[in-house]
Amino acid sequence: MEPASPGTIVTLKDVAAASGVSISTASRALDERIMSRSAAAAHVRKVAEELGYRRNSFASSLRRGETRTLGVLVPRLSDTVMALMFEELERAASSRGYFAMVATSGDDPHDEKRAAETLLDRNIDGLILATARLDDELPRLLRERKVPHALVLRTDGVSPSALGDDEVGGYLAVRHLLDLGHRDIAVVTGPSFTSTGIARLTGARKALEEAGITPREQWFVAAGYGIENGFAAGETLLADERDRPTAIFGANDNIAMGIMAAAHRHNLKIGQDLALVGYNDTPLSARLPTPLTSVRVPLDQIARTAIDLITDPAKEPRVRKSIPTLIPRESSGPPRARG
């Protein structure tokens, strides 16, 4: 069978005629969601390939009332964790026959709502948010409008959510430092408007209380999730050489890297003079001059769960947590004896 001449658009009607079947039969044979294994379907696909037919997925989706497209909203793609999260979401979506498109909000509620409306205007089949704040009204609005959606990494506790168990992660980080013999432990938390910041702090406090240690409130420092926030927090905690913690848990790897820079400025050796644990186990963590102990979150599992929550909305539970793992490295050692 001769392929169509260049510039000629081969239609589904052409494929059906050349295959000797009806248009509806040809359509079913070429539907990637069905992928029939019958001999008739295989024949139609062979004819379509020989003719150079290209299926118009967009038009097909519109006829079905769907676009097979998911919108993903993240605070910023310059954040390594958010970039990795989107890659995993894109991979998980593709495996289900969906295309994922991303927009950023800068962690600003107004920009978040605007970006969400822009994505929804493109007739996406669902919206995935990595931007949820505890004071955020967008998840509530999506629920009221019955928009299929899922929250990832952060949760408001109500909307469908896929995230790591941040309380367990915070506990593991501080329990590790306690097991090494540290008692003077500081915690640099994430923003108070995020479920991640609150849950990781809750887990850290639980580990200290289990060990019979009364937390020193001045050693709990609230910060943003950037390296500069970690540096500022490190300066605060390390300024007084007579009253410094021997170990610090930073609520993400960026915070921990900022603390590393502050420690270097005060001539402290990470892993010897100061033990340090981060969170998220980003690729750079293991490649730092002093490899960083960190809590690893299974982003691939979280991504697959988020897609499940959108494609199978009746499935329970609605908030699903994946268990993190502590990855010990050279940045966390036992405390030095104080003479």
List, as one string, the DSSP characters of 176-190.
HHHHTT--SEEEEE-
CB 77 within 8 A of CB 86: yes
pLDDT mean over 218-244? 94
CB 119 within 8 A of CB 327: no
pLDDT mean over 230-242? 95
The amino acid sitting at 168 is: V
**Quick one: tokens of 123?**
């007739």
For residues 258 and 260, give the distance between their C-alpha atoms in angstroms, rounded to a whole number. 5
- pLDDT (tens digit, 9 = 90+) per residue, 255-296? 999 999 999 999 999 999 999 999 999 999 999 999 999 999
Which single residue is written with the structure tokens 């519109």? 62
- pLDDT (tens digit, 9 = 90+) per residue, 237-251? 999 988 999 999 999
pLDDT recorded at residue 58: 47
pTM of this structure: 0.80
CB 105 within 8 A of CB 115: yes
- pLDDT (tens digit, 9 = 90+) per residue, 30-39? 876 666 778 8
pLDDT mean over 121-138? 90
pLDDT at 147 over 60: yes
b/e sequence 113-129, b meaning 16+ C-beta within 10 Å: bebbeebeeeebbbbbb
For residues 271 and 291, give the distance between their C-alpha atoms in angstroms, rounded to a whole number. 9
- Per-residue pLDDT band for 135 (boundaries 50, 70, 90) equals confident
pLDDT recorded at residue 9: 73
